[in-house]
Chain A
Amino acid sequence: MTSHPVPSLEVGGLAYAYPDGTQALFGVDLTIGRGERVALLGPNGAGKTTLVMHLNGILTAGHGSVRVAGLDVRADTMKEIRRRVGLVFQDPDDQLFMPTVREDVAFGPANLGMRGAELDRRVSEALDRVGMLDAIDRPPHHLSFGQRRRVAVATVLAMEPEILVLDEPSSNLDPAARRELAEVLRNLDVTVLMVTHDLPYALELCERSLILSGGVIAADGPTRALLTDADLLAAHRLELPYGFAVPAL
């Protein structure tokens, strides 16, 4: 963990209510330093997805602020914000909308104005980092689910983001695909925020975790410490899977 004067992500007093009046976030504060890998844990309905939508300006804050590497999320900074925040959605079929893997990975950088050889290089590099370079000319629907998720990660890596935000990265993956994705994520040299309720996965990949519950950050600390605090977990509807114990150091 490197300390850096400007953190990758700063969220301060963020509150949000949906248009129908349902309050989802009640003042979220969090800071993620550059190069950190942090898990955002929380039960269904805790406001995890709502928080994620604020990070790249798809939803805009009712109250409070979101800053990415020092830049405020505002209408006039949106283009740069969306380059800096790489959002990987839960369903790769939502993320991969182009006819081939190559075109899909190129979509983001091309929107940033990149063309020609530079674009080709960016695409190959991103695919290489997730181990999917062989699939470059295949249509996404011919790939396995795990492969599609790795390509989805490549589509945002190609934009060289400041922070990678993954929504439930381990969902629907078989154990081998889950391990392959973990290897990819562990080797990335980029700040990662991983939204999940897969506690073992958080422990495996992230030193630090946040618990989002009832629209506020209820806990913030080393993942190991949070996961061994049975009362804390129970208070926020989080549970370790049957038979799983946090391994001794």
Chain B
Amino acid sequence: MSAGHHHQLYRPGDSVIHRLPPQCKLLAAAGFAVAVVATPRESFWAFAVYAVLLAAVAAAGRVPPGFVLRRMVIEVPFVVFAVAIPFIGLGERVEVLGVPLSVEGLWAAWNILAKATLGVVASILLAATTEPRMMLLGAQRLRLPQLLVQIAMFMLRYMDVIMDEMRRMRIARESRGFVARDARQIPVLAKSAGALFIRSYERGERVHLAMLSRGYTGEMPIIRDLSASLRQWGTAGLLPGLAVATAVLSWSLS
């Protein structure tokens, strides 16, 4: 089965991590992120421990380092921002290779970089081992507002349909000699976007009718049994558990 383009974050497999129920993994990733953020930035060793924990998760989920590294590109805007801080930061300065840098700025940059990177890697590992729709079913189990889960579910289902419609509209434009060269073509593209919006809106109405016809009353029935055993919660709790212990230790040592 060919994978759709929105599944590119997922890496099919059958590891311990893949088999964990999605709600356990969601909570584990969130707990880990909170522990990381709560750690004092001076505790370098604690961040090293977090990195080792994530490496262990990656190994258990059989997610190769290259796969994680490629997906970390998403962090680049934050990195650019973080790198700028030591140059524009105020206060005490320190010379690094002849360039005066703000000490406070360096600390801030390190803080952002380290915590963001750990958070991003944790989410990449979560996405790599959990199918998008399972993630939503997990969110539903964690009592996330029904409406939000349903909207996300429909986005997942109709992404391809809408992309396809967009492609057909582009082909129709281009077949009649349209080329988007500069700003003067913006009105045409804007109208296409408007038409796409209206088409999607009308489709939404038709889908709603189809749902009503099959007895929809505002709630998605839970079809699949996703209950997690204590053991599974225990396995998933290892990551946030160890991370929280590290955070607590780092506070008591600092």
**B210 CB contacts on chain A under 8 angstroms:** 87, 89, 94-95, 97
Hey, what's the 0/1 contact readout for B146-182 against A, CB within 8 Å counting as 1?
Answer: 0000000110111011000000000000000000000
A106 touches B214 (CB 8 A): no
Check if A110 sits within 8 Å of B221, measured CB to CB.
yes
- Taken residue by residue from 115 to 141, chain A's Cβ proximity to chain B (1 for < 8 Å, 0 otherwise) reads as 010010000000000000000001111
Per the bound structure, the CA–CA distance linking A94 and B209 in Å amounts to 9
The one of B154, B160, B209 in contact with A58, judged by C-beta atoms closer than 8 angstroms, is B209
Nearest CB of A to B206, in Å: 4
Instruction: Flag if B207 contacts A97 (CB, 8 Å).
Output: yes
Q: Most chain-A CB neighbours within 10 Å: which of B160, B203, B216, B221?
A: B221
- A10 contacts partner chain B, Cβ-Cβ < 8 Å: no
The residue in chain A whose Cβ has the minimal distance to the Cβ of B2 is A142
B224 within 8 A of A: yes
Which residue of B is nearest A156, CB measured? Answer: B214
A97-B207, A110-B223 known; A155-B156 Cβ under 8 A: no
Determine the distance from Cα of A234 to Cα of B221 in the docked complex, in whole angstroms: 48
B28 to chain A, nearest CB (A): 23
How many A-B pairs have beta carbons closer than 8 Å: the answer is 80
In angstroms, how far is the closest chain A Cβ from the Cβ of B74? Answer: 24
- Chain A 84-108, CB-CB to B under 8 Å as 1, else 0, gives 0111010101110111101100111
Q: Is B69 an interface residue (CB 8 A)?
A: no
Q: Would you call A139 and B153 a contact (CB within 8 A)?
A: no
B1 A138 Cβ-Cβ under 8 A = yes
Instruction: Decide: A106 near B4, CB < 8 A? Known: A95-B210, A97-B157.
Output: no
Q: Are B133 and A100 in contact (CB under 8 A)?
A: yes
Check: A225 CB closer than 8 A to any chain B CB: no
Docked complex Cα distance between A102 and B137 (Å): 14
The minimal Cβ–Cβ distance linking B33 to chain A, given in whole angstroms, is: 26
Is A97 a contact partner of B211 (Cβ separation < 8 A)? yes
B254 within 8 A of A: no
Chain B 110-148: CB-based contact to A (< 8 A → 1; otherwise 0): 000000000000000000000001000000000000000
Residues of B within 8 A of A139 (CB): 4, 157
Residue of A whose beta carbon sits closest to that of B211: A97
Residues of A within 8 A of B221 (CB): 106-107, 110-111
Interface residues of A in 50-64 (CB under 8 A from B): 53, 56, 58
Contact with B along A191-210 (1 / 0, CB 8 A): 00000000000000000000
Measured in the bound complex, the distance between the Cα atoms of B209 and A82 in whole Å is 11
Q: List the B side residues contacting A156 at CB < 8 Å.
A: 213-214
Task: Assess A94 versus B1: contact at CB under 8 Å? Given A79-B215, A99-B157.
Answer: no
Contacts of A34 in B (CB 8 A): none
Q: Are B133 and A89 in contact (CB under 8 A)?
A: no
User: Which listed residue (B2, B153, B209, B211) contacts A99, Cβ 8 A?
Assistant: B153
Please give, as numbers and ranges, the residues of chain B lying within 8 Å of A56 by CB-CB distance: 213
B217 is an interface residue with CB less than 8 A from chain A? yes
CA distance A119 to B225 in the complex (A): 12
Contacts of B214 in A (CB 8 A): 82, 107-108, 111, 155-156, 159
A246: Cβ under 8 A from any B Cβ:
no
Please give the distance in Å from A119's CB to the nearest CB on chain B.
7
Most buried by A among B213, B216, B222: B213
Residue A83 lies at the interface, judged by CB distance under 8 Å to chain B:
yes
The verdict on B72 contacting chain A, using a C-beta distance below 8 Å, is no
Specify which chain A residues have a CB less than 8 angstroms from the CB of B153 in the assembled complex.
Answer: 98-99
Tell me the residues in window 213-235 of chain B with beta carbons closer than 8 Å to chain A beta carbons: 213-217, 221-225
Residues on B close to A: CB < 8 A?
Answer: 1-2, 4, 133, 153-154, 156-158, 160-161, 203, 206-207, 209-217, 221-225
10 pairs of A and B residues whose beta carbons are closest in the complex: A110-B221, A111-B215, A108-B214, A99-B133, A94-B206, A106-B223, A87-B213, A141-B160, A95-B210, A97-B207
With A82-B212, A103-B223, A111-B217 known, 15 other A-B pairs at CB within 8 A are A56-B213, A83-B215, A85-B213, A87-B210, A93-B161, A94-B207, A97-B207, A100-B133, A107-B211, A107-B223, A111-B221, A141-B4, A141-B157, A142-B4, A156-B214
A-B contact pairs, 6 of them (CB 8 A): A53-B209, A82-B212, A93-B161, A93-B203, A107-B221, A107-B223
